[in-house]
Structure 1
Amino acid sequence: MTTLFISDLHLSPNTQDITACFVQFMRNEAIHADALYVLGDLFEFWIGDEDRSEFALLIKNEFKTLVASGVPCFFTQGNRDFLVGQRFAKYTGVQLLGDETVIDIYGRKAVVLHGDTLCTQDTQYLEFRAKVHQPWLQWVFNKIPMFIKKKIVAKVQSGIRDEKEMKSLDIMDVTPSEVIRVMEAHQVDLMIHGHTHRPDVHTFEINNHPMTRIVLGDWYQQGSVLVVNDSNYDLQTRPFFNQSI
């Protein structure tokens, strides 16, 4: 059996190829797993749990069916879907995790997170993150009519695209000292995260102790899945197919 990890799918009604690959993954692969972990940015932008669109219902029902089949599913909010909340969890059966969570993977402890908080050089983003994670601001946003929310989100997404074009790749990558701090704080030798869109397995040492940091890939051109069993781990890709859902 295996435990599966995914992140940075950036699903939206406009990405039929990604959505089709995700649906196939859920129905043909995740259904056979011990557990599924989604480490943020499942959506290009989750506008709120009250979204009743056909697309939102499709994605929620995939999780609901998976959990009902007996596969536990865990979800860490990313920078694009920080509004995924308790109503989403109640409907789907997904268990929401905190920003940093220590889990046991076949006897080995690991800390899992989205990864955005590791990018400490990107101070502009971290300031934005602190603002939008304020409970009172999220409460206010959730009370706004859906058509106004969509306009706000469209403006935010445009601003994000413009900012990314101006930022260096180094700023948007993790800060090594923050990686070490988090791993030491949780007393683990394995970290799994997404966010940077740079899939890789990094090995290093802290005080002569071997450490591993696994970075999940995005789903822009192909699916990306970390497959873990009781003896090893493997970063794998999944091809897109021209298919309807």
Structure 2
Amino acid sequence: MTATRHNTALLVSDIHLPAGASEYRNAFLAMLEGPGRAVDAIYLLGDIFEYWLGEDVSGPDHRPVLAALAARAAAGTRIYFIAGNRDLLLDPTTQARHGVIALPDPVTVQLPDGPALLSHGDQWCTQDAAYQRWRRFAHNPIAQKGFLHLPAALRRRIARRLRTRSSQGQRRMPEDLLDVQTDAVEQAFRVHGATRIIHGHTHRPARHRHAGGERIVLPDWRPGEHRYLLATRGGLAEYQLN
């Protein structure tokens, strides 16, 4: 558990920042300089980037974002990051160089209004067997090292192919199989002694009641909809970035 209990915290996930300038980049930078300036901590719960293909490739693509994160951290905001399925190759060394603190998935933290188990959430989508096979492979250090040694152009082609294949597979699969599964989530409540879970990944923002407590799904970013959660001592509230 992270020991520090902040007075205010911002939580966000599934922004899917594309390489280069975009509406999402502008909104993310505005968030860091707006509501991000007013909080003690920012929790980034994965898939902040559409994909991360290694610092040599994706670092230049996202230089303004990395610089803004470093500036916000230097100004005193604690910035935490849990890797998602799209940006799992953003290594802790690169994060630390830009003032970002890498967290394991899942992790229990002290939010202003009490503890919460934070996760990207994809490990609980247990009915999607093909995805779970890919996830085990993608998290294998040997596979990661081999991928990062490929030429940059090939890494980009592979990422585009995987993204297309993933979109096609999701359209064919029943929606309930793409969501987190109740038994997996309730096991997480028990194993971690949690009464509240906050995650992203599913792009289905909602609040759910389980036998172990409350589960909150963070909103994904969409064109014109750039939402985040703000945690204070009074609880959690969702906001739209103006």
Q: TM-score range by the shorter chain?
A: over 0.9
Question: How does 1:5-154 map onto structure 2 within 5 Å?
Answer: 5-13=11-19, 16-51=22-57, 54-106=60-112, 108-154=114-160
Partner in structure 2 of residue 232 of structure 1:
235
Equivalent in 212, 215, 218 of residue 217 of structure 2 = 215
Alpha-carbon displacement from aligned partner over 1:64-118 (angstroms, at most 9, x marks no partner):
1111111011100101111110332132111111121011113622100001111
User: TM-score of the superposition, structure 1-length normalised?
Assistant: 0.91
Alignment partners' CA distance in 1, 2:182 and 2:144 = 31
User: 1:15 deviation in Å?
Assistant: 6.7
Structure 1 SS opposite 2:239? strand
Alpha-carbon displacement from aligned partner over 1:130-152 (angstroms, at most 9, x marks no partner):
00110011111111121221111
Alignment partners' CA distance in 2, 1:107 and 1:213 = 15
Q: Are the equivalent residues in 2 in contact too, given 1:112–1:191 (CA < 8 A)? A: yes
| Residue 190 (structure 1) aligned with residue 196 (structure 2) | yes
| C-alpha spacing 1:66/1:168, structure 2 compared with 1 (3 Å) | same
Alignment partners' CA distance in 1, 2:21 and 2:186 = 36
Structure 1 unaligned regions, length at least 5: 240-245
In the alignment of these two chains, the number of paired residues is 235
Alpha-carbon displacement from aligned partner over 1:123-178 (angstroms, at most 9, x marks no partner):
11000000011001111111112122111111111111111111111011111111
Alignment partners' CA distance in 2, 1:204 and 1:237 = 27
Structure 2 SS opposite 1:201? strand
Q: Percentage identity across aligned positions?
A: 28
Between 1:43-52 and 1:159-168, the stretch displaced more is 43-52
One-letter amino acid of the structure 2 residue matched with residue 103 of structure 1: V
Between 1:63-72 and 1:197-206, the stretch displaced more is 197-206
